[in-house]
Amino acid sequence: MARQRVKLRRSAEEIVESAKAALEELRTKPVGDKTELDARIKRLVALNRDLRELSLYHTQKLLSKDSAAERILDYLLLHVGEMVEGEEIDVVSTISEYPRRIREWRVQFGWPIVRRGRYYVLERDQPNMEKAERWRRMNEIWRTSAAKRDKMLALFRAFPGQVITYAELRYVSVNRP
């Protein structure tokens, strides 16, 4: 289940005070029963929301306020050629599905983002438009109601004289739409 979307609604002071209160409540011994455990977990969830909202507060001037995906790309563009830890992107994006958003930027929009262990690197500050267009064409083929064989044939016809990978053949032929 996805996390609740966080929006910047409070001042930094209000967010920090809320986080301090949560931390103070959590400064006790480990819990001994289910009721206490549930209360602590709820407090940790609230603390997590405070931290994500605080992230939005601190990134609002340099990164997009509109979407997590845009914040991810904006942050990577500030660090072209540098290794950016996944946890940094987690904080910047405020979403748990940041790897999916990075994959979308890479595959659907042609951004040259590579993963190296727990790090991501945006290699250039411009997307590869040919790669993005190739994905768009493959996606169009995938979305048709044609049989698998016809989809694979359409892929070869869409890219005459070009190498078609197994992954691309598999992508267009999987029955999902």
Locate the domains of the chain by residue range: 12-59, 68-122, 129-173
| pLDDT score at 3 | 65
pLDDT at residue 172 is higher than 70: yes
Q: Report, as an integer, the average pLDDT of 151-162.
A: 97
The model carries a pTM of 0.86
Between residues 2 and 38, which one has the greater pLDDT?
Answer: 38
| pLDDT score at 4 | 74
Mean pLDDT of the chain: 94
Q: What confidence tier does 177 reach under pLDDT thresholds 50, 70, 90? A: low
Q: Report, as an integer, the average pLDDT of 114-124.
A: 97
pLDDT tens, 78-110? Answer: 999 999 999 999 999 999 999 999 999 999 999
Q: What confidence tier does 175 reach under pLDDT thresholds 50, 70, 90? A: low
| 3-state secondary structure labels for all residues of the chain | CCCCCCCCCCCHHHHHHHHHHHHHHCCCCCCCCHHHHHHHHHHHHHHHHHHHHHHHHHHCCCCCCCCHHHHHHHHHHHCCCCCEEHHHHHHHHCCCCHHHHHHHHHHCCCCCEEEECCEEEECCCCCCHHHHHHHHHHHHHHHCCCCHHHHHHHHHHHCCCCCCCHHHHHHHHCCCC
